[in-house]
Amino acid sequence: MSALLRKPSAFENNFVHEQELMFKAQVRRNRLIGLWAAATMGRDNEAAYADELMVADIGTPDGVFTRLRSDFDAAGITILDDDIRARMVSMLKDVAETMRAG
């Protein structure tokens, strides 16, 4: 039997499921951090900004962080890179736990 025709193993199926879950968690995290950032910057269009950040990582490594850093700087908001990254990690963890539980 050809390797291309074999049935995927449980390990492979689990890996694919975990990758899909992580992608969905990152998209949700990006939206949440967008809402937080928009509120921090005093933007009127919080939901629209959050929607833009939902897909900022697609095709651009570290796209959400880069966008946040740029937008905070442009708004004159002083926030450390480590604080942005810590919030991103914390939000991703919370979203992933919520998705696994529900």
pLDDT tens, residue order, the chain (102 aa): 455 667 778 878 888 888 888 889 999 999 999 999 999 999 999 999 999 998 887 778 889 999 999 999 999 999 999 999 999 999 999 998 898 887
pLDDT at 60: 82
pLDDT at 1: 47
pLDDT at 77: 96
**Entry field: residues in the chain:** 102
Distance CA(54)–CA(4), nearest Å, equals: 35
